[in-house]
Structure 1
Amino acid sequence: MCLLINFSGFALATNHSLEVTNQALKVQPSRVGASDPIAYFQSKTAAIEFAKQQNWAQVNKLTKMLINEYQHDGDTWYVLGLSYFQLADYQNASNALQRALAIGTSLKGIPNGASNPNDLMVKIAEAYAELDNQQQAEYWLKKALAARWDDRPTLAGTSLFKSGINPYFERFAQSASYKSLAGNNLDTELNRDQKWRADLAFLVSEIKRLHVAMYQNMSSQQFAEKVAEIDKSIPILTDQQIVFQFMELIALLGNGHNLLIPAWGETGNFQQLPFQFYQFSDGLYISKASSDYQQYVGYKVEAFADTPAQQALELTKRINARDNEMQTLWLGPYYLSLLNVLNGLGISKGSEVTLTLSSPQGAITTVTPALKSMQFAGFPKLPKLAEHPTLRYLAKNNTPFWSEQIKTNKLLYVQFNDVRNNKDLTLAEFAMQLQTQIKHDDIEHLVLDLRHNSGGNGSLTPPLVATAAFFNVLKPQGKLFILIGRNTFSAGHDVAVKIANIVPAIFVGEPSGTRPNVAGEAGWFNLPYSKQTGLISSQFHQQSRAEDHRIWLAPDMPITLSAKDYFAGIDPVMDAVLTITKQ
């Protein structure tokens, strides 16, 4: 029985990259400027500062004066709308935010703000909800979803980052129309197969709604055939096998921001081996293990069951959506730690798998490890070594950012591991500290280590990019090294591209894990029955010139990491930089 339910009701466009949410030709500009442009600028600056301080009464007073002078700045309409919202004048809030949406705004850093167009639409929906106008609230939610709003799980209360249903919509959260918008209208009378088919239908719908260009790497026929194959097979598959099939479907999209994480669902979660693997230049090794299996750290993996390790790694491409093949080296070893992936790839069968290992001395042994429930807190980084706890590139690779001055080389080393603020220091404040060091200390060279940086909040990066430009101006004879590798991805990768666009940079290490121009972002989905969660690429990111067709950032100094060097506590990438800066 086929039950491909349409959860969305949205147009199933396949390439959204040129879509806009407003029409420039419908807005007529004023031919009259502000009567006192200097006073206007000063008042606008003050209004934005008051908004950041959440002094909404002052914001409201100033922005009304500004708009009386000039009506064609989306920023002022946006801040006015936020002030009305916070002052509980929801009708005027809606009107002002709609004007901001029509003109456009990109103002960031305002508490409780939402300047992205689809976020603005949700804010307008919240205003109508406060006016108890469900029809208009749902109208604006539909518009937001059609504009690829990427946080739909908050409508159903299934978001990983916010608990409960968005409080503004709780008053009509039980209505059938709202549940349909939230993707939370699963019929409880359905049998098991029908529920899984409902999940499949919702997943297909969300891919078509969210993905910026879903047929970039496959044909519509390939996609339709895979969906039909899964639908037909559901009655004979276990829950975990169905989830594996969903992962194969998502992998057809072929962009690195597309994935399903089978760790948090109510049904179909995966089992995991107690090992972390890493593909070095000389093979696949166990780089980390749970306490019961510590003796195997440093062992080379020869085979999973009867499948040689390198063949197994190649097979992970079936479920590893990726921007380039460096992501096979980065994420493939992680997928090999999941028993249900090994089963789905035909490497193993049943509830266990035996690994063939070789010790550092070359002795062959086998192990059939006990399994644990899959846990996921981000794809793992190359772990710190107990035998070399102070090794520079590993010692603090879970700290968002930190720096060290290497005086013997007149070098400032900056390790940037996650694009987020530290709990006691923002990235902008850190960048200012670096600029002070560059200005006042005896520094000739700058190293930016991005080898562990797989992304985060890209809006935080401009101060660090500016710091690279600052270094180039103050130290024109100095060298800027950017250390990259397979983990250099998403917003972490964008930093490297943006810096290289404006100043000379020497890339050292491996090719990066993504492209300069790529489908990215992260539109979250949560399936209605199994509650399995994942991501879909919802935006196209052009960080370089339009014609830039590079598949990765290629290193100017290509250096790979061997297991021998890693376990001996040697960093050949940084060693090369230290050698060249001493010459």
Structure 2
Amino acid sequence: MRPFFKSILAASIFSSFSYGYGQQINEIAPEAWMADVEYLERSVSQTYPDFESNPGAKEFHSELSQLKSGLASKSDTEILFGIQKALGALGDDGCNIIPFQKALNTKILPVSIYAFEEGWFICDAKNKNLIGEQLTRIDGMEIHEVFEKLKPYLNGDNEYYKQRLFGIYGLVPELLRVAGVNGPKGKIAIHLASGKIVSVDAEELSEYSKLNRKLPNDGYFSLNQTDHKNKNYWLEYLPDGKTLFVQFQQISNSKEGPSFKKIVESITDGISSGKVQKIILDVRYGGGGNGFKLKPLTDLLRDSEQVNQDGNLIVLTSKATKGTLLELTSILRLNTKAVIIGEPTGEGPNTVGDVKYLQLPNSKVNISLTKIFWPTSWDFDGRTTQFPDVPVSFTFNDYKNGGDPWLKAAMDYKVETRKEALNGQLLESLASTYTINGRKVSIKQEEGRLWIQMNRKIKSFFEFKAELFPEHEGVLGSSINNVKLHYKTHENGDISPSNLEWKSKLIPIER
């Protein structure tokens, strides 16, 4: 539900957090910092949903307690990153202090890096001689060790998104020094696979933001060389004329062009006319917007006989798939036969979103906190990512040659063996309405097939509809990965459902 990093880095980091209310920080007294930290601690406890149940709540309090006990001996920079580390304990990218707001005047190397399959490479740099070089060490330390040092300061839901953040924060000398990576002030020595060691000065964010940070087909469709720069959504047909490629970067109306509603209507027209046989949804870049706008689209794809078939609906994900686009991915995974191709997502199915901004009273530092729980699974589902059905490897060679392995995998995808049909006795015996974990769930027949369905509640995106297939005696598999229906056969021959297996957890089924 919140804006987040786009492409190799966040476009939003530059526009949303490069502001400040007044001058830069200048030697704030320990007493003033103490008031700021205590204000933050109260605000987080009051704002974050069900805060004390967060696995990182205890660590958050502990980090702030340590910070408060040593305020008198710490620099402003150490205090600021100490706050960032405490917020990092919550495991939520929406709870953070961004080092690039005007009040902080944080410098960053004018170098754009990305973690490819082979390692970290320089994609663009102010010093053009560095482009294409592989980065192996930072200030003499192996890059994976630097990542481990910085991880507590990287506010992300999982390891995959933190890797994306490292591509930014690993280039900030001030943070490296606070995290224990020794080196000179204001610069970083980057060690290259070619054997060269180059000292690079950190500069203003404006220099860094000039660099190319694009990934494959990000706002551009390579198959027909069409530019869609700065569009929240766009669509193009593949050369076969039957496959529709749709990219979503934000689920909100674009400033120019058709509204989101009109885009959904265009997709509807394509399906209704029979022109669209297959849809590839690209949700790799972006994430903000309004999740309640999604339902007409997800219902359309769920109810389409043509599109909602194995191999006819494909979703492309990356480490940066988060927010509303993660919600879209989750809803489609639970309600259609969509195949997920790409990388593990930047968030899990149950996220906290909708950002509230606050300003610390003395330092005037701006902090974001998330405030609303948006589930797309059961409350107990603690997964912090969603893994793809078909993993994709992105190499530096792909990047250099303009290749898009996600799109190639989608175009090459072959449908697996069709599932066998259920027998008539199971169809008749299981069809009914049940209660699962306090929710009404229906098992029903539709044209000789058996489906399990649960509708969403108000202010929730969690709903599912899945086809059931025979797996082995007493268990039916479903069109949702790792979701199964257990049933039992009684002595009198009656058959009744016993448990819903949801990602390895058994939930009792009641009449």
Question: TM-score, normalising length from structure 1?
Answer: 0.61
- Post-superposition offset of 1:498: 1.3
Higher-helix-fraction structure: 1
CA distance in 2, matches of 1:277, 1:556: 27
SS in 2 for 1:521: strand
CA distance in 2, matches of 1:491, 1:499: 12
Determine which of 114, 128, 137 is the counterpart of 1:294.
Answer: 128
Q: 1:240 and 2:70 equivalent? A: no
Question: Which aligned pairs between 1:49-128 and structure 2 lie closer than 5 A?
Answer: none
The amino acid of 2:182's aligned partner reads: S
- Post-superposition offset of 1:295: 2.8
- Post-superposition offset of 1:337: 2.0
The amino acid of 2:357's aligned partner reads: W
Change (3 A) 1:402 1:160: closer
- Post-superposition offset of 1:336: 0.8
CA distance in 1, matches of 2:133, 2:168: 16
Change (3 A) 1:537 1:568: same
Q: Deviations over 1:322-363 (max 9, x none)?
A: 2222112222222112222111111134423333343xxx52
- Post-superposition offset of 1:565: 1.4
- Post-superposition offset of 1:253: 1.3
- Post-superposition offset of 1:465: 2.0
Kept in 1: contact 2:308–2:338 (CA 8 A): no
CA distance in 2, matches of 1:381, 1:550: 33
- Post-superposition offset of 1:224: 3.4
CA distance in 1, matches of 2:57, 2:391: 38
Change (3 A) 1:460 1:164: farther
Partner of 2:266: 433
- Post-superposition offset of 1:276: 2.2
Q: 1:282 and 2:118 equivalent? A: yes
CA distance in 2, matches of 1:499, 1:538: 25
Question: Which aligned pairs between 1:393-542 and structure 2 lie closer than 5 A?
Answer: 396=228, 398-408=230-240, 410-424=242-256, 425-440=258-273, 442-472=275-305, 476=309, 479-542=312-375
SS in 2 for 1:263: coil
CA distance in 1, matches of 2:226, 2:200: 27
Partner of 2:4: none
Q: Deviations over 1:208-231 (max 9, x none)?
A: 111113344546654333222212
Partner of 2:457: none
Q: Deviations over 1:269-317 (max 9, x none)?
A: 421111222111211122233xx32332222111110111111122221
The amino acid of 1:271's aligned partner reads: K
Partner of 2:43: 206
CA distance in 1, matches of 2:364, 2:93: 22
Q: 1:341 and 2:175 equivalent? A: yes
CA distance in 1, matches of 2:307, 2:284: 26
CA distance in 1, matches of 2:405, 2:179: 35
Which structure 1 residue ranges, 5 or more long, are not aligned?
1-158, 166-189
Q: 1:580 and 2:413 equivalent? A: yes
CA distance in 1, matches of 2:106, 2:89: 21
Kept in 2: contact 1:277–1:337 (CA 8 A): no
Partner of 2:203: 372
- Post-superposition offset of 1:398: 4.4
CA distance in 2, matches of 1:515, 1:220: 19
- Post-superposition offset of 1:254: 1.6
Alignment coverage as a number of residue pairs: 393
- Post-superposition offset of 1:256: 2.7
Partner of 1:310: 144
Q: 1:197 and 2:34 equivalent? A: yes
- Post-superposition offset of 1:381: 9.5
Determine which of 258, 263, 288 is the counterpart of 2:100.
Answer: 263
Kept in 1: contact 2:138–2:191 (CA 8 A): no
Partner of 2:66: 229
Kept in 1: contact 2:108–2:202 (CA 8 A): yes
Which structure 2 residue ranges, 5 or more long, are not aligned?
1-14, 22-26, 417-511
**Greater Rg over alpha carbons, structure:** 1
SS in 2 for 1:514: coil
